[in-house]
Amino acid sequence: MKTLNDFDFLGKTVLLRSDLNSDVVNGRVLLSMRIKESVKTIKELKKKGAKVIILAHQGRKGKDDYVSLEQHVKYLCKYTKVKFVKDIIGDRAREEIGKMKNGEAILLENVRFLEEEFKPGKNDLVKFFMGIVDIYVNDAFSVCHRRQTSIVSFPKYFPSCMGRILEREVNALKKIQVKNCLYILGGAKPEENIILLGKNKVLACGLFGQLCLISKGKNLGAQNDYLKSELYLAKKLRKRLKNVTLPKDFAVLKDAKRYELDLSEFPSKYEIFDIGEKTIALFENEIKKAKAIYMKGPAGFCAEKKFCKGTFAILRAIAKSSAFSLIGGGHLSDAMEASKISRQGFSHISLSGGALLRFIAGERLPGLDALR
């Protein structure tokens, strides 16, 4: 696959697919590692004299984090100047692109606001950029498992290459050791984890751990209500939990403080925000024995400091171990940064959740196939 080194970008119009997808709390987008890292490729392209049109997504339709990219651009601008254009393939976008000079960058609106994004092929999204774009750059490894227009269709019509994030992630894939790997599966997207259940030992945490318990018949009370839209997964999980270690206790929010409850104290009227100390100890012990470790997603709600305890403890244990270690996911890479644990303790820290997980499960990634 080609890299940024393979093109002369001076005066070229570049369509850059970045992944800026970040945590959104009460409508506010939080600054993420994905945003910070994406800046590097944007800066490099600007420096090389390209006109950079950035395309990215935020959230999924129907979810609270499905918002405009207006706030993202403010973060990008902390590091390099980028103009936000509240349009994707309309007259406004065409006009702004037409005005761009070498070394300038614009960010278009959330590409998932367009239906065409979900119907790959030579659709209106692709046609709009024909005659405008010279080179397509994919820097969104974390979306390469999606058969979406901005990932799989552009490479068919434009000379294409990897951005720096994608290049780094692809190089890391070559070194991944998955044999006898201990999987620590958490995070906020539990449906993705199912494909990894089977032979390998799994430590379940995050929403995934809770769903595993529910699938075994445990009633978690208020948390069952919170997980309403994910309960269909509990059924799917039922017969697949042979090698899965489940949480023994949880931290809840009581009187605005962290409060730990043993599993036997559930159902509870309190929602769950982290794993508890007994679970942490159990997981630390498993981590000590592992030769290779893959952790996906945090163990708790890391946007709040008091609920980072489980995730930070697991990360510290992994950093201490001499095992090959792979850390993946947008939320987890943010937690990793917040923990201040040295990156040296990990073999690779990926910005990708689902795409990396699918790679580990042995699936092909359509985004990489398209670039090839």
- In the bound state with ligand 3PG, the residue whose beta carbon lies nearer, of 147 and 306, is 147
For position 351 contacting ligand 3PG by CB under 6 A, the verdict is no
Please, what is the minimum distance in Å from the beta carbon of residue 285 to ligand 3PG?
30
**Other CB atoms closer than 10 Å to residue 86's CB: what's the count?**
15
Positions in 47-76 near ligand 3PG (CB under 6 A): 60
Tokens representing 340 are 């201040």
Residue 15 near residue 158 (C-beta atoms within 8 A): yes
Judged by CB under 6 A, the stretch of 72-80, 84-92, 138-146, 227-235 that binds ligand 3PG is 138-146
CB of 81 to ligand 3PG, least distance (A): 24
Tokens standing for residue 37: 């890292």
**Which residue from 363, 14, 38, 11 is spatially nearest to 154, judged by alpha carbons?**
14
**Helix axes 70-79 and 33-47, enclosed angle (nearest 10):** 60
Asked if 354 interacts with ligand 3PG (CB under 6 A), we say yes
Per CB under 6 A, the list member of 187, 247, 297, 330 interacting with ligand 3PG is: 330
Q: How far apart are CA 181 and CA 177, in angstroms?
A: 7
The yes or no reply on residue 143 touching ligand 3PG (CB under 6 A) is: yes
Of 19, 116, 139, 169, the residue at the interface with ligand 3PG (CB under 6 A) is 19
Q: What are the C-alpha distances in Å from 191 to residues 148, 187, 356? A: 19, 10, 14
Q: Of the listed pieces 139-147, 202-210, 233-241, 336-344, which binds ligand 3PG according to CB under 6 A?
A: 139-147
Only segment of 44-52, 80-88, 140-148, 240-248 that touches ligand 3PG (CB under 6 A):
140-148
Shorter beta-carbon distance to ligand 3PG: residue 13 or 142: 142
Min. distance of Cβ 288 from ligand 3PG in angstroms? 29
Q: Quick one: 190 or 353, whose CB is closer to ligand 3PG?
A: 353
Cβ nearer to ligand 3PG, comparing 221 with 330: 330
Residue nearest to ligand 3PG (CB): 21
φ, ψ at 96 (rounded to 5°):
-65, -40
**CB-nearer residue toward ligand 3PG: 247 or 354:** 354
Per CB under 6 A, the segment of 142-150, 155-163, 220-228, 292-300 that binds ligand 3PG is 142-150
Under the criterion CB under 6 A, does residue 190 sit at the interface with ligand 3PG? no
- CA-to-CA distance for 359 and 372, rounded, in angstroms? 16
Tokens of 125: 């999204």
Among 13, 21, 138, 311, binds ligand 3PG (CB under 6 A): 21
Compute the least distance from the CB of residue 91 to ligand 3PG, in Å: 29
Lookup result for tokens 């539990």: 190
Structural contact between residues 230 and 211, judged by C-beta atoms closer than 8 angstroms: yes
Q: Measured from the CB atom, is 142 or 321 closer to ligand 3PG? A: 142
Rounded to whole angstroms, how far apart are CA atoms 230 and 301? 17
Taking CA atoms, 10 is separated from 51, 52, 103, 333, in Å, by: 9, 11, 8, 33
Question: What's the angle, vertex CA 12, arms to CA 16 and CA 73, rounded to 5?
Answer: 35
Cβ neighbours of residue 126 closer than 8 Å, sequence gap 6 or more: 116, 149, 153, 154, 157
> Binding to ligand 3PG (CB under 6 A): which residues in 167-186?
none
Smallest gap from Cβ 191 to ligand 3PG, in A, equals 10
Least distance (Å) between residue 142 CB and ligand 3PG? 4
CA distance 311 to 315: 6
Q: Is 277 helix (H, G, I), strand (E, B) or coil?
A: helix
Closest to 280 measured CA to CA, from 309, 256, 305, 255: 309
- Size of site (CB under 6 A) for ligand 3PG: 9
| Interface residue list for ligand 3PG (CB under 6 A) | 19, 21, 60, 142-143, 146, 330, 353-354
